[in-house]
Structure 1
Amino acid sequence: MPSPTRSAAVTRSRRAAGKILPEHARAHNRALVLQSLFSAGAMSRADLARETGLTRVTISDLVGSLMEDGYVVEQGVREASGPGKPAMLVDIARDGHRIVGLDLSGSESLVGAVLTLDGEIVARHSVPVPARQSEVLDAIVALARTVVADAHAPVLGLGVGTPGVVDDRGVVLAAPGFGWADLDLAGTLERDLGLPVLVANDANAAVLAEHTFGGAGDDVILVRVGRGVGAGLLTGGEPLAGARFAAGEIGHVTVGTDGGPACACGKIGCLEAWLAVPALTERIAATGDPDSVLRDAGERLGIALAPIVGALDLSEIALSGPADLLGGALAEAAAETVRTRTLATFHDGLQVRMSTHSEDIVLRGAAVMVLSGRLGVS
C-alpha cells in the first residue's frame, strides 16, 4: 500500500466524502476491508462482502493483496454450524506490525512506547526533558531510535503527540515551551529513522484515542489539563483542525470579567491560569479549601466550553489529567455551568467525564494516527 501524505494525521476519512474516483477506488476498498476487520475482528470473505457491499470477487482480490502485503492473515476455519464447507476466517495481522508512539507533552519526561495495532503498550521508554531548549530535538530523536529498536517487528509508522500548534504536514508552527517555530518535526524524524511519521498536537492525538479506544461519540471535545490547558475536537467523527491548525487552543481564552490570576502569556484571567495543574495545586495549598478552588476552576472551564458546545452541538466533554483534581467537584461545576449557559432542550444531558485512557492517552492517540494514516482505519 502506498504511503499516505502526512495530512492523514489530521484529516482522517471515516466515511465516503462524495464520489470515489476510479484511481482512488482500490485504496478506498482496501481501507473498507481493513476497517471492517479492525472493528469487528475475524470474518469470512463472505462476511466482508456483506459488510462492505463489495462483490465476493472484489473481496477475494483485496484480501489476497492484503495478505501478500502482510496486513491480513487467515485465522483458520469457523466452527461448522450446518451443512457445507466451513468458512475460512481472515483478520488483520495484529501481531505482524508494531506502532511507535511518542508523547512529548509531559513536564518532566518525554515518553515513547511500542504499541500493538490494538493500541496496547508492549514496551515503554522515557528520558528527562532537557533543561536547555536547544537539546530537546536531539533528545526526541534519540528516544525515537531507542523505541524503534525495541519494536521487534516491522514498524508500521511513528506517531507523535507534541505541545504546540502543528500543521497538516507535521510542521510545529509554534511550541513556546520548546522554543520551536516552524520546525519540521515529521521531516526530521522521517529522515533519521526511515519511517513514515505523523505528528499532531497532543490534545488532538488524545481525542482520537478517546474516540477509537475509549468509546467516545462522534461529537466530543477532550480537554487536556497539565502544565497547560488545551483541547482536541471531533465533529461528525472528524478531527477539527481549524483554518490555522489552532482549533482547541482554549488555554488563553479569558474566562470572566472579574480579573483573576496573571497568565504567562501576559493577559489576566486566562483559563490556563485558573485550570493548569500548577495553578490549582498552588491555590489549594494557599487556601486550604480544595472544594472551593476546584468548583471555581470548573465554573471557569464551563464558561470557556459553553459557546463551543452550543456552536458545535457537542454531546460530551472528556477531561484528561489528574483525576483527583478534575474528576469530582471540578467536573460537576463545569457540567452545571455549561448546562446553564446553553439551550436546555438540547444540552441538559451533556456528559462531562474523565477520559478512560488518561495516563497513556497521547501514546494511544499516536497509534490511531498511524492506523489512520497508513491503513485508513480508526
Structure 2
Amino acid sequence: MTTRDRIKVLPEHARTHNRSLVLTTLFHDGEMSRADLARETGLTRVTTSDLVGELIADGLVVEQGTRQGSRPGKPAMLVDLDRSGLQVAALDLSDTREYRGAVIDLSGEVRARSSVPRPADGEAEAAIDAVRSLAAELLGAAPGRVLGLGVGAPGVITRDGVVASSPNLGWFDLPLQADLREQIGLPVRVANDANVAALAEHTLGGASGDVMVIKVGRGVGAGVLTRGELTRGSRDAAGEIGHVTVGTDGGPLCVCGKHGCLESWLSIRSLEERIAQGADPDAVFRDAGERLAIAIAPIVGALDLSEIVLSGPAEHLDGILRDTAVHTLRSRTFLHEDVQVRMSAQGDDVVLRGAVVLILDGELGVS
C-alpha cells in the first residue's frame, strides 16, 4: 500500500471537491436540472440536490424556472450560476501607458471599466497608490456582488501573490496580494500577467491543456500550461523567456544589459524602434518571428506542447512574424508539425479575463 493509499479523505475535502465539480459543470455547460447535473458530474441525486440547495443559500446558484417540453410528469426546475449578479473586479498592470481595470460578471459581460495613467518606471510608491485607487474605484462601480479582485502584473510573482521582482514597476518583494486584501476586505489573487493570459485562453478561450501563451507588449513573457495546470517552476519564474539570448550572433542591446535577448527582437517597443530607424518592416518581422521560434522550439519539444498562442497587437504579430515563427518552429522540432500557432481569441482584455479566472479558480474551484 502506498502513502497516497493510506491518506484518509476527509468528508469536508470530498464535499469541497463535489461543490467545485457542480460549479465548474454549471459554468461551462450552462443551466440544467438537478437530475441532469447529477448525470453530468457522476454524483448521486441526493448529493447533487443537497449541494445545489447549499449553493442557492450561499447566493451562488439561482433557479431559472421550469424546463419547457413534452415530457410527462412534473417539469424539471433548471438551475444555473447567478451569472449577472456575481461579478469579479479585475486589474491589468501590464499596459505600457495605463493600468486598466474592469468589473466582469460570470457571463463575461463588462459591467464597469476604468483606468489610471501608469506612473513612470521605478516610481514604486506612486504605482502602488495608483493600483489601490483603481481597485477602490472599480469596487464602488460594481452593480452586484463582487467575489474578489484578480490582478495580472508583470514580473516574477510567487504563489501567494508577492511580487518578487518587477523592475519596471519598481517593486521587489512586495506583498501586493496581502496589501490589497487588507485594503478592500475581499479575496484577492495576484499572478504574472502572462500566466493570467494563459488561464484566460484555456478556461475561456478553448485552448488545449498543453499550451504556451506568449504575451508581447512592453516586454515578452509566457504562460505555460501542461495538462491544464500552470507550470510555475522552482522560482515561480517559468515562462520568463524575454531575456533568453536567441542566437550566437550578438543582436540588439536589451534593457537588461545583454545583447540579443528575445525581448530585444520581439517586444513592440523594439519592433517599432527598428522600423522607425529605417529598417525594412518585413525584414524586422521575419527576424522577430525566427528568433521567437528559436526560443520556444526546445520548450515545445521538451513539454510536447500542442498549441502556441500569441497575445499582443495583431498588426505586428499576425502575418509575416507569425508565418515565419511557424516555419522555423517546424524546422527545429520533431513530431510537432501539427503544433498550432495562432493569435489570442481574447483580444485586449485577455489579462482582465484571466484575472476573473484567478478568482473563479481560487474562490469557487471553477477551472
Report TM bin, short chain. Answer: over 0.9
Counterpart CA distance in 2 for 1:134 and 1:326 is 34
Any conservation in 1 of the 2:62–2:81 contact (CA below 8 Å)? yes
Q: Is 1:37 the equivalent of 2:18?
A: no
Q: How does 1:230-245 map to 2 (within 5 A)?
A: 230-245=221-236
* Rounded Cα–Cα distance in structure 1 between residues aligned with 2:25 and 2:166: 37
2:50 is aligned to: 61
What is aligned with 1:12? Answer: none
Q: Which amino acid aligns with 1:140?
A: V
Unaligned runs of 5+ in 2: 1-6
Structure 1 stretches of at least 4 aligned residues deviating more than 3 Å after TM superposition: 18-21
1:121 corresponds to? 110
Matched with 1:350 is 339
1:202-245 deviation digits (Å, cap 9, x = unpaired): 00000111112212111110001111000001110111111110
Give deviations 1:293-333, integer Å, cap 9, x for gaps: 10111000000000000000001110011101101110111
1:272 corresponds to:
263
- The alignment partner of 2:222 has SS state of strand
Aligned to 1:315: 306
In structure 2, what is the Cα distance between the partners aligned to 1:118 and 1:219?
25
The aligned residue for residue 14 of structure 1 is none
Please say if 1:368 is aligned against 2:357.
yes
Give the paired residue count.
Answer: 359
Give the aligned CA root-mean-square deviation in angstroms.
1.2
Deviations 1:18-53 (A, max 9, x none): 985433011111111111111110010100111111
Deviations 1:87-133 (A, max 9, x none): 11000111222100000001110011000113322211000012333
The residue number in structure 2 matching 1:149 is 140
SS of the counterpart of 1:359?
helix
Deviation at 1:288, TM superposition (A): 4.4
Quote the Cα distance in structure 2 between the aligned partners of 1:20 and 1:351. Answer: 40
Checking the alignment, whether the CA contact within 8 Å between 2:85 and 2:105 is kept in structure 1 is no
Of residues 281-290 and 71-80 in structure 1, the stretch that sits farther from structure 2 once superposed is 281-290
Q: 1:30 & 1:122 partners in 2: Cα distance?
A: 27
Is 1:83 aligned with 2:75?
A: no
Cα distance in 2 for residues equivalent to 1:119 and 1:311: 35
Q: Please state how far the C-alpha of 1:284 moved relative to its aligned partner.
A: 1.6
**How many Å separate the matches in 1 of 2:125 and 2:62?**
45
The 3 A distance-change label for structure 1 pair 249 and 181 is same
Q: CA deviation at 1:277?
A: 0.6
Alignment partners' CA distance in 1, 2:9 and 2:75:
34
What SS is found at the alignment partner of 2:100?
strand
Which moved further from structure 2: 323-332 or 118-127? Answer: 118-127
C-alpha contact (below 8 Å) 2:215/2:311 kept by paired residues: yes
The CA distance in 2 between the partners of 1:124 and 1:50, in whole Å, is: 39
Q: Which moved more, 1:108-117 or 1:282-291?
A: 282-291
Q: Distance in 2 between matches of 1:80 and 1:204?
A: 44
CA distance in structure 1 between the aligned counterparts of 2:183 and 2:116, rounded to whole angstroms: 19
1:197 aligns with 2:198: no
Name 1:281's counterpart in structure 2.
272
Aligned-partner Cα distance in 2 for 1:302–1:117:
36
Letter in 1 for 2:68: E
TM-score of the superposition, structure 2-length normalised? Answer: 0.96
Q: Say which structure, 1 or 2, has more relative contact order (CA 8 Å, 6+ apart).
A: 1
Tell me which moved more, 114-123 or 94-103: 114-123
Residue 246 (structure 2) aligns with: 255
Structure 2 CA distance for partners of 1:24 and 1:107, relative to 1, 3 Å: same
Deviation by residue 1:225-267 (Cα, 9 ceiling, x = unmatched): 1110000011101111111100000000000001101111111
In the alignment, the residues of structure 2 paired with residue 259 and residue 20 of structure 1 have an alpha-carbon distance, to the nearest angstrom, of 56
Q: Decide whether the 8 Å contact of 1:119 with 1:367 is kept in 2.
A: no
Deviations 1:42-78 (A, max 9, x none): 0101001111111111111100000000001110111
Identity of aligned residues (%): 62
Matched, 1:226 2:217: yes
- Secondary structure at 1:124's aligned position in 2? strand
Name the amino acid aligned to 1:45: R
Match of 2:91 in 1: 102
| Residue 17 (structure 2) aligns with | 28
Question: What SS is found at the alignment partner of 2:265?
Answer: helix
The separation in 2 between residues aligned to 1:159 and 1:277, in whole angstroms, is: 25
Give the letter aligned to residue 184 of structure 2.
Answer: L
Hey, what does 2:162 align to over in structure 1? 171
CA distance in 2, matches of 1:242, 1:88: 46
